[in-house]
């Protein structure tokens, strides 16, 4: 684990997961992502915490689920914090991005899922049917879990997700394999929409620019860097997310 333990006053924390488990993950350009967030952390006096160890055996849970232990990991490392920003490692933050912690209102914040509604609605409906007693929430509340802001007050919330995972682990693993509509993301969405409701603040697309092919922003002119702040290279962009992460970093910094 890499982080700066030098300062004791309460900072905001940027948390990333960079677990290298094979050649594929080694070549995804995550180092460039981390470098961009290092600069953002420095600019706004935040602590960057990069987790590079698994918290559980891969057989027990995929690395996606590590997100539900973030506050525990910070506590275990004796890190004092105010708010936490979790970001996926296939993102690049632009140098002109404002301080996201200033707009959070100390709420749980995320960006609506942009992209394929077929995948997203199956994710919502299948998990609703199989695991949440047909609980429904508005489709436009469904968020992408690649960028999330939260704080200490959400400890119990994450504990509930951990307990839910433990109680339903085999069904969740079956869901992941059988339906292929998400790992942590659908579960996080159900918990936020059930338990947080008014505590959930929706951020604009500029804070998590997903599926850049679909918005047609992706291109050699880097138009996406003019639109917003968090460039998220998900949804299988070609030639590879790693190539875009590196190229975008070199273009911006």
Partner 1 sequence: MNVVFWVGVKSNNPTVCDKHGNFEYFEYSKSTWQYWCKKNNVEFIEYDTTSYDTNDHKVTWTRWFELELMLKDIDWDKVAVIDASYMIKWNAPNFFDMCSNKLNVFQSLENLRWIQSGIDGYRSMFNDMEFDIKRYIDCGFQIFSKSHLSFLSDLKKYYFDNYDMICQLEKDVKKGTDQPVYNYMLQQDNIDFEFSLDPSFNINHMTRFGWLGHNWQLNDKTPYFIKYGNIWKFSGFDRKMRNQLMSQTWNMIKENYI
Choosing from 138, 170, 220, 250, the residue that interacts with partner 1 (CB under 8 A) is 138
Triad 108, 175, 199: Cα angle to 5°? 10
Q: Which is nearer to partner 1, 76 or 121 (CB)?
A: 121
Binding segment (CB under 8 A) for partner 1, from list 21-29, 125-133, 184-192, 245-253: 125-133
Contact pattern for partner 1 over residues 186 through 225, marking x by CB under 8 A: ------------------xxx-------xxxx-x---xx-
Q: How far apart are CA 240 and CA 251, in angstroms?
A: 17
Among 9, 140, 198, 220, binds partner 1 (CB under 8 A): 140
Q: For the chain, give percent helix, strand, coil, nearest 5.
A: 45, 15, 35
Whose Cβ is closer to partner 1: residue 9's or residue 140's?
140
Q: Which run of H or of E encompasses 13? A: strand 11-17
Cβ–Cβ under 8 Å, residues 84 and 149: yes
**Contact between 175 and 131 (Cβ < 8 Å):** yes
- Shortest distance (Å) from residue 163 CB to partner 1: 27
Inter-residue long-range contacts of 175-178, CB under 8 Å, 24+ positions, other chains counted: 175/126, 175/127, 175/130, 175/131, 176/62
For tokens 């690395």, the residue is: 63
Q: Is 164 in the site for partner 1 (CB under 8 A)?
A: no
Closest separation between CB of residue 7 and partner 1, Å? 34
Tokens of 186: 């659908």
Nearer to partner 1, 20 or 223 (CB): 223
Q: Does 174 bind partner 1 (CB under 8 A)?
A: no
Mask: binding to partner 1, 99-118, rule CB under 8 A, as x and -?
---------------xxxxx
Nearer to partner 1, 60 or 129 (CB): 129
As measured in angstroms, the least distance from the Cβ of 241 to partner 1 is 19
Q: Which is nearer to partner 1, 16 or 218 (CB)?
A: 218
Exposed, middle or buried by CB within 10 Å (0-12, 13-18, 19+), for 160?
A: middle
| Closest listed residue to residue 142, CA positions, set 170, 120, 164 | 120
Judged on CB neighbours under 10 Å (0-12, 13-18, 19+), 177 is exposed
Under rule CB under 8 A, how many of the chain's residues touch partner 1? 29
Q: For residue 227, state whether it binds partner 1 (rule: CB under 8 A).
A: yes
Q: Which residues bind partner 1 (CB under 8 A)?
A: 114-119, 121-122, 125-126, 129, 138-140, 179, 181, 204-206, 214-217, 219, 223-224, 226-228
């Amino acid at each position: 684990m890499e982080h700066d333990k030098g300062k004791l006053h309460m900072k905001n924390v940027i948390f990333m997961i960079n677990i290298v488990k094979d050649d594929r993950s080694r070549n995804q350009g995550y180092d460039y992502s981390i470098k961009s967030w290092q600069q953002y952390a420095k600019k706004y006096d935040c602590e960057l915490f990069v987790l590079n160890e698994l918290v559980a055996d891969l057989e027990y849970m995929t690395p996606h689920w590590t997100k539900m232990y973030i506050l525990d990991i910070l506590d275990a490392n004796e890190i004092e914090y105010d708010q936490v920003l979790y970001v996926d490692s296939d993102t690049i933050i632009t140098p002109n991005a404002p301080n996201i912690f200033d707009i959070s209102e100390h709420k749980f914040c995320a960006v609506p899922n942009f992209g394929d509604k077929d995948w997203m609605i199956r994710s919502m409906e299948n998990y609703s049917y199989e695991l949440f007693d047909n609980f429904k929430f508005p489709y436009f509340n469904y968020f992408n879990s690649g960028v999330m802001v939260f704080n200490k007050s959400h400890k119990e919330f994450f504990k509930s997700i951990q307990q839910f995972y433990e109680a339903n682990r085999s069904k969740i693993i079956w869901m992941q394999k059988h339906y292929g509509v998400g790992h942590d993301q659908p579960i996080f969405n159900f918990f936020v929409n059930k338990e947080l409701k008014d505590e959930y603040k929706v951020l604009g697309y500029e804070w998590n620019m997903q599926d850049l092919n679909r918005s047609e922003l992706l291109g050699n002119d880097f138009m996406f860097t003019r639109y917003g702040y968090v460039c998220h290279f998900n949804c299988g962009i070609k030639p590879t997310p790693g190539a875009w992460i590196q190229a975008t970093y070199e273009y911006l910094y």
